[in-house]
Chains A and B, each alone.
Chain A
């Protein structure tokens, strides 16, 4: 089996077959991760550059672990600046790295479209680990893997994604990917944290949290950046928690087996009460485990592993 896509730039436009193939492959790697020896030789000899222009601990570690468990050689490149005026251009950077003979690039960058731009600069396979406000496809894939693991299917499930939708590439990738998989997604947040023109995301958007939660099989909370208070986006943590946070009281009104998710890191007591984050409905740590399996699957399938 082969993917139709050559790079993973985002989930917009990626077919259901490709997503299923990645999720099925990830399920197999999940099995590998339960063994004593969690390493397979599939990408032996391949060099994968983790090109991170934005700070990230967990995504980078997750990719690095996935690469090591596929027997690839990871190379970490952390850069703090991106603009041409401050140093080397992105094209020069990637072509210098490519000149050292590498096979794949995992890239995170604060500017949307950078993964696509890199495909025009290099022959290496590009995997998007988050680009600006645009997409974070491996996060959405691990979310879908986790939902399928817990509820046995994706088709027909209702998912409410709540929080800072405007700044969330996770919400975008999930909206596109889950819609492709026949899921019923609703995005919810204060109007100041919703896109002004959301129709191109293809899913409903609301500021009414009760409406969003109605009948939800899955509730995904997004991290709220506390410093947004100072930019007149919302007035106080207390009001945000009261209007959009999920606590035991809200949880009790949801389906018994509702799946509570969060891409992390969690602001305990803000978007998610501690006792909900630690409840039996929460799959936050499963998401982290599955992240490694999904990234192994993506790298394996795109990297031509055997």
Chain B
């Protein structure tokens, strides 16, 4: 009781002073002015890195932004930041008006599984969902996966057809199965077109830091260049910026990942293995609005335009036309199922 006894003692002036605070609190609870609660809405929680990472998160944002323009639906996003509580960010969106909620990145897998069970009426989608054979995907969760190995196969072929030294390199970030997929596809692609080609491999580490260590990336790349590699593909987040730096230093080619990274080192980026995170987000929102959203696993590979490589005005002088011809043939063979690309 005593806790409340002080309350009436507040004089009128003090109570008046509290009023704006009270209203501010109310306003914070009501949705923004653009919000029309009669319409379905989509929310997105970013991975570490957040908007402006020029890669994964930005690509997801492009997808949701395009959906907002095309379908005129309200969207919102949360950037939980370093080590923050992803689960509560998901919960916050789920308890609002958002009918479809995205988690960007494999780190969301467990959190989405938990939150999806608590909000069975809401739909969830997790990009790069980490499949666990012992656990079923909740029915309202769409597990979006990419066949990175297929895109990596093609850039591996480009690398092995471009190298003059018969040696190509691969720099991975964290030593985990997701990154092994890139390596496996790349190696298979390189050896498919050039069986004599050496593939040198290095990983930056075994913790999440391994994706944010450009100095280590540069040393790994320099060491591979020292052993003859003249094209290096990376799948290592910003660690790869160090690979680009080594490529500039020693005048060799690097291959970007996730999004078109040409601008990071113009003239030295042979191509990029792109993951169409934006397309997957856009398609998922469209299905959700059409009422055709289905939970479960959905894989985006070459056939679905979910992965690919960059060949545009920036790098068309770096890659020979006959290389592109060969790679396009390989792409058709993979889509037709004639080439099976290993994923580990």
**Is B truly associated with A?**
no
